[in-house]
Amino acid sequence: MASEAQHQAYVIKWSQQPSIRRQWPELALLHHIPNGGTRDPVEAKHLKQQGVKSGVPDLCLPVPRGRYHGLYIEMKTESGHTTAVQEWWGERLQAQGYAWRVCCCSTPGMVSAAMSTGFSFPWEKAAMRGEELPDGLSLPDQMAYTALRNTYRAYYDKTISRDAAAAEKQQIRLAWERAVSRAAFDQRLTTHHVKVIRETEAAKNAFRKDPTPANALRLCNAMDGLPSPDTEGSLTP
């Protein structure tokens, strides 16, 4: 398992990507506060004299958003837990109007593996990163995206376990497959209904102009929706 420092380096590296910086240029202000680690007694004494304090969050993003003055992030491994002094800092930072979050470190690859069900949605990485709903998704995809994004968020927050997250993803997939199948059936039904109306009207006009038994049979078949050689596929979902 990667260390907390390795995960923190991954976050910094991610924030420095050109594509990420173009989207969020304010991430250039994201920085590390060196208050952890092991030091010899002399160095520890000097740092303490210079103002280094235990429990201060690992990362700071001094950018105001909404009701928050900025963001402080406490990095933890998947099995890590905040200490009492870290919680103390978190409570007081929030009281001063800052957002304080504990980042339970899992790279996208690690999380994907943890929640692997042998299936991945084409937009899953975006949901994993908590991004906004992409444009152009169908209604079943929109519903699945929102549900899966919430599942990843709950997993990151340690609200649910890996097994529970994987089980939720499987449920989301099954619901998505049913919704896709139903949408396809509804589309075929609509297409068939439009075709029946069109053919019925054509048969009516033909019978009005020439009321022969053949045109009467054509009208009856059209009204009954009976298949013809050019009828589209089965309506069975």
Query: How many other CB atoms are there within 10 angstroms of residue 30's CB atom?
Result: 19
As a whole number of angstroms, the distance between CA 97 and CA 40 comes to 35
Could you tell me which residues come within 8 angstroms of residue 202 by beta carbon, excluding any fewer than 6 positions away? 222
As a whole number of angstroms, the distance between CA 10 and CA 223 comes to 65
- Token couple for 139: 């209604």
The residue that leads in pLDDT, 62 or 35, is 62
Residues of the chain with CATH 3.40.1350.10: 1-105
Could you tell me which residues come within 8 angstroms of residue 35 by beta carbon, excluding any fewer than 6 positions away? 52, 53, 54, 55, 56, 58
Assess whether pLDDT exceeds 70 at residue 26: yes
* Chain segment 199-215, per-residue pLDDT in tens: 788 888 888 888 888 88
pLDDT of residue 8: 85
CA dist 50 → 37, 45, 47 (Å): 16, 9, 5
Q: What is the pTM of this model?
A: 0.45
Share of the chain above pLDDT 70, in %: 81
* Chain segment 43-91, per-residue pLDDT in tens: 666 666 766 788 899 999 999 988 899 999 998 877 778 889 999 999 9
Assess whether pLDDT exceeds 60 at residue 110: no
Q: Which fold has domain 1-105?
A: Trna Endonuclease; Chain: A, domain 1 (3.40.1350)
